Structure 1
Amino acid sequence: MKYSIIILFFLLVFNNYAQPVKVNENYYSAKDEFTNDIFNWQYIQLPYPFNITDIFFKDSLYGWASHEGNGVFRTTDSGFNWDTSKFGTNNHIGGVHFIDRYTGWTVGVGGKIRKTINGGINWKIQDYEPYAGYYNKVHFFNSDTGVVIGSKNGPYGYIIKTTNSGNNWSEIFISNQIYTELKDQYWLNSDSGWLCGSNILLKTTNGGTNFINYYTNIPPTQNGSNALLGIDFVNENTGWICGSNLEHRNIYKTTNAGLNWYFQNNPVASYEYAQVNDIKFINSDSGWAGSFVGIILFTSNGGSNWLIDLSANDEFWSLCNYKNSKIWSGGAHGKIWYTLINPPIGVISNKNQIPLEYHLFQNYPNPFNPSTTIKYDISNYAQVTFKIYDILGKEIYSSNEFKKAGRYEFEFNGSNFASGLYFYKLETGEFKQVKKMVLIK
């Protein structure tokens, strides 16, 4: 996949509530600080000790994270370094969403809505009538149409919508029942969406013109209360909700479009405070759930079995899946966690071995059938492009990401390619080299 960095400077007059401040990142992967049982999780420690409430990545380089310190972090290099923008009041920001590298929105406590058109450097006020309540999540389908969820007049579930890029908003739902604050939303498309919260589970099939409450389809709890904090679907029938209740029933699944939900037992359910804050699936089998007790769960069979993927002295408040290649999690006290998901050509890294210079090794074995290993050395933190071409010059693989100094390996599998001569190229800002390899079947 090809990525290009486009640097644009916007000289625009905005209501300027935020100026960027450079954050010196701290990058951790020491095994004695936390336990990785399945995937290799790492975290970046930011200097601001706030809970990370939401994370959103638009591509492999550009991402944003909202936090309870009333601001938004931003990265332009895959999360190795983060800038921050802070707004003028002390209320926290609950959600963030971008439609491209430049245009995005954040929402927060006190009916706060902010928009940026320069990637989060400056933010413009787009509040919709002051009121006592929370905005927890924002989602935009395109540059014009978006939905914000939360609560109004205290804990009454509340939804507003815009069709002109946030310049005007209209109320499309307010609950008539107390303690129904909406916490999360998932949209299959601009018409069909699910929204969940405290004692409420809404579905719409017409873009929010009407909502049906599916809450009574969830097995009842001892006191009738169920805090639903996260929701995710992989198709119109199969989805999950997570949260907290007295019975420790913290993850539910449906396979018939919400008509029935059943509890999925998991290790966190045995804890005294068994709250699961967010849940994300990359397909009908593989998914993650982040919990309040410092555990990230993983399943490879749709939740029939949940395993402890990561155990750390932290709280996991949010999850983000970027194109099924990387999972991000927002932690407490300024920690942002991530792990790679089955890289397409089996990337292996050894950051403990610091090379003295850049070098691209000859693949081994060569010739090969069907797999071969390609090694390369990176001597400095750099943006690294790696590509593979066939004999006609057609690009069959491409990666472009920032990497720390170390030795890296690619395991290339040629099962889906024809026999013949191939070329692989490594390129950084100060180094470029091409080598040949031969696939013989």
Structure 2
Amino acid sequence: MIPRRLLQAGVLSILAAFRAAPLSASWTPAASGVSTDLNSVFFIDSDRGWIAGDSGVVLRTTDGGATWTRMTTGTSTHLNSVHFVNSSTGLAVGNDGLVLKSTDSGSSWTGQNSGVTDNLTGVVWADASTAYICGQLGRIKRTTDGGASWANQNSGVVETLNAIYFVGTSTGWAVGNAGTALRADDGASWNAADPGTSNDLHDVFFVSASTGWIAGESGVVSKSTGSGSSYQSLYSTSTTFNAVHFVSTAVGYFAGNSGAILKSTDSGTSFTVERSLTSNHLNGIFFPSAALGIAVGDSGTIVREGTASSSPEAEVPPQGSLKAVNNLFNPAKGESVQIRYAIVNSGKVTVRVYTPQGRLVKTLIDEQRTAGSYSDLSWNGSNGIGETVASGIYLVHIEGPRFSQTRKIAVVR
């Protein structure tokens, strides 16, 4: 057995390394309340957003992704994509030709007649009445009456199309399996483009009619500056990327398998690897502002970077605090970590323990609390079924009203 003093020294060295080499982003887990795969995320502003997932799941947030509430969709069919044109009106699409529409910010959804039964994978609004959907068999359809009726468009391909995106009412792109890349300049006529790969393509995003990016299987991280007629590979990796979103021409993110997140601040010339705190596949990513991002993935995974603010230029005072006392402890000796926290606003508070990979170890509290300071919480090193966890680094994470924070602790046995 390793002497405790040596193990303690090792753990302390890990903690020191964390402190000495801070990561470029602070992604933290957020509770989804579901265990199904989450496939798509979209925000209309820094506060209001929606997530679509398997088994008919739609989640909504009104506080920048700090908390999420499940909406009633009336279906158990897998939903693959969600998009809102304003704070009230949105569309979600899924398997078996399912199209749902909401006109009350996602509180309720009604089915629309898509005219197909094959799986639909992507949806995007072009303006208040015009939207596009894509899916299996090279399917592209357009509505000009807000989703009441859908007309077929000739994509010229039979491969599954996985994503569709528009800038304005007429300029659009779609990508799919076997290196399928399409572009339309008039919102109706689709032409083949050269993505520079035959790998499956999973997502497309453009910041203007000329500049955009695609993400895909086995390391596809590529950019176009020619309106999507051709793409240039940006990054060498074997990781599959499922989603891409750019906040501006310069700053953007790719999310993919095994919790991978890449960030670029120079339009894709170079990338840094972000630490997402999850090993689950990430299927969607969205940044409503440069200060706030949400990524979603398998098994109900939500990870969040930054904080929401309806006034980004204003100084926002801290809305709470979290402190771990005796954060290096040995459960075998009856020791525990004391968790002290404070919240400025009354509301729901959750405190959970995670592994560094983002796996939930235990929920310590999940209830309403009034504003104030609390010191009645502790963790004795056990997981959700009462087993003592292994030695190593763990994360205590709090989500409160307009407040979230994470602290590292170490278990030594």
Structure-2-length-normalised TM-score: 0.69
Letter paired with 1:287: G
Counterpart CA distance in 1 for 2:228 and 2:252 is 19
Which residue is 2:286 aligned to?
320
Which residue is 1:258 aligned to?
228
Alignment check: 8 A CA contact 1:355 1:405 kept: no
Alignment check: 8 A CA contact 1:254 1:260 kept: yes
Return closer, same or farther for 1:190/1:251 CA change in 2, 3 Å cut-off: same
Return closer, same or farther for 1:296/1:249 CA change in 2, 3 Å cut-off: closer
Return closer, same or farther for 1:118/1:338 CA change in 2, 3 Å cut-off: same
Which residue is 1:427 aligned to?
none
Give the alignment of 1:361-372 within 5 angstroms. none
User: Once the 2 structures are TM-superposed, how far is the Cα of residue 323 of structure 1 from its aligned partner?
Assistant: 3.5
Alignment check: 8 A CA contact 1:126 1:167 kept: yes
The yes-or-no answer on 1:138 pairing with 2:129 is: no
Give the alignment of 1:8-407 within 5 angstroms. 37-131=23-117, 133-151=118-136, 156-177=137-158, 180-198=159-177, 199-208=179-188, 210-214=189-193, 217-220=194-197, 225-244=198-217, 248-266=218-236, 269-270=237-238, 274-311=239-276, 312-340=278-306, 344=313, 349=318, 351-352=321-322, 354-355=341-342, 380=371, 402-404=401-403
Structure-1-length-normalised TM-score: 0.65
For these two proteins, the number of residue pairs brought into alignment is 314
Letter paired with 1:285: A
Q: Which structure shows the bigger proportion of residues in helix conformation?
A: 2
User: Once the 2 structures are TM-superposed, how far is the Cα of residue 172 of structure 1 from its aligned partner?
Assistant: 1.2
Q: Quote the sequence identity (%).
A: 23
Counterpart CA distance in 2 for 1:103 and 1:162 is 14
Return closer, same or farther for 1:150/1:307 CA change in 2, 3 Å cut-off: same
- SS of 2:187 mapped into structure 1: coil
Return closer, same or farther for 1:127/1:308 CA change in 2, 3 Å cut-off: same
Counterpart CA distance in 1 for 2:343 and 2:176 is 53
Alignment check: 8 A CA contact 1:329 1:338 kept: yes
Alignment check: 8 A CA contact 1:320 1:329 kept: yes
Counterpart CA distance in 2 for 1:117 and 1:250 is 36
Which residue is 1:371 aligned to?
none
- SS of 1:317 mapped into structure 2: strand
Counterpart CA distance in 1 for 2:167 and 2:249 is 14
Counterpart CA distance in 2 for 1:405 and 1:264 is 34
- SS of 2:169 mapped into structure 1: coil
Counterpart CA distance in 1 for 2:244 and 2:315 is 26
Counterpart CA distance in 2 for 1:293 and 1:357 is 36
Counterpart CA distance in 2 for 1:48 and 1:327 is 20
Alignment check: 8 A CA contact 1:36 1:310 kept: no
Return closer, same or farther for 1:310/1:88 CA change in 2, 3 Å cut-off: same
Alignment check: 8 A CA contact 2:38 2:54 kept: yes
Alignment check: 8 A CA contact 1:61 1:79 kept: yes
Alignment check: 8 A CA contact 2:31 2:67 kept: no
Counterpart CA distance in 2 for 1:176 and 1:129 is 19
Q: Which runs of 5+ in 2 are unaligned?
A: 1-16, 324-340, 346-369, 373-399, 406-413
Q: Which runs of 5+ in 1 are unaligned?
A: 1-30, 359-378, 382-400, 407-441
Return closer, same or farther for 1:60/1:111 CA change in 2, 3 Å cut-off: same
Letter paired with 1:157: G
Deviations 1:204-259 (A, max 9, x none): 11112x11110xx2334xxxx32111111222222211101xxx441111222234
Alignment check: 8 A CA contact 1:96 1:105 kept: yes
Alignment check: 8 A CA contact 1:67 1:93 kept: yes
Alignment check: 8 A CA contact 2:85 2:125 kept: yes
Counterpart CA distance in 2 for 1:232 and 1:130 is 26
Counterpart CA distance in 2 for 1:254 and 1:404 is 38
Deviations 1:278-328 (A, max 9, x none): 111112221111011211111122222221112432211101121433211
Q: Could you list the structure 1 runs, at least 4 aligned residues long, displaced by more than 6 angstroms after superposition.
A: none
Counterpart CA distance in 1 for 2:283 and 2:344 is 40
Counterpart CA distance in 2 for 1:80 and 1:275 is 27
